[in-house]
A and B are shown apart, each in its own frame.
Chain A
Amino acid sequence: GEDVEQSLFLSVREGDSSVINCTYTDSSSTYLYWYKQEPGAGLQLLTYIFSNMDMKQDQRLTVLLNKKDKHLSLRIADTQTGDSAIYFCAEIPSGGTYKYIFGTGTRLKVLA
């Protein structure tokens, strides 16, 4: 069935890199997203990647896509305390236009 998995927690020290991982099940998914949710707020799009790409870089963010293993990762370089939030990956399964499948979310805690 459709399922997107993430680890629930990640703790890093300020200035280190953070890597948040996501495993999805539909190998034909065409769009994959990373969202950030700060405390008490809705989700905000961070970045996305098309399935025909292996990597996308956007300032401190690097997204890696391994389609063979159905694995998506988000790397945050020079992690800051303001990066503390919940991070969700999401996919649009093949054949779908409306339905997004979200992961459980990874809570990132940045230690000063």
Chain B
Amino acid sequence: DVKVTQSSRYLVKRTGEKVFLECVQDMDHENMFWYRQDPGLGLRLIYFSYDVKMKEKGDIPEGYSVSREKKERFSLILESASTNQTSMYLCASRSGMRGETQYFGPGTRLLVL
């Protein structure tokens, strides 16, 4: 079974703090994704990485950056957290094959005060 883990289930941070969200997958997948999920808006893609050290902006990259130094790990960084970044963050991974599904982690619920 594919396993995608996220470093925290719940996180509370203050405005202006730097926040790191970590995601690890154990299936040697090439592609990894970060989404945020908000009620009524579904999932919106923040960034994705198609291979180590490779990244592309998604639909809402502003205020975020990412790092993929190793194949199994994809980090999402909030350089200076703001209250409008309070959300559920979901990480996913998939192999590089076309049509292959994504496998999701359990999510990190972030509250920025």
Contacts and interface: CB of A to CB of B under 8 A. Distances in A.
B107 A97 contact: no
Interface stretch (B13-21, B39-47, B64-72): B39-47
A98 B48 contact: yes
Given A42-B4, A43-B90, A44-B104, A88 B43 contact: yes
Q: What band does the interface of chain A fall in when counting residues whose beta carbon is under 8 Å from B? A: 20 to 34
A103 B98 contact: no
Given A42-B4, A98-B31, A104 B99 contact: no
A8 to B, nearest CB: 7
22 contacts: A8-B40, A30-B98, A30-B99, A31-B99, A40-B9, A41-B107, A42-B90, A42-B104, A42-B106, A43-B92, A43-B102, A45-B101, A50-B99, A92-B98, A97-B98, A98-B48, A99-B48, A100-B45, A102-B35, A102-B43, A103-B42, A105-B42
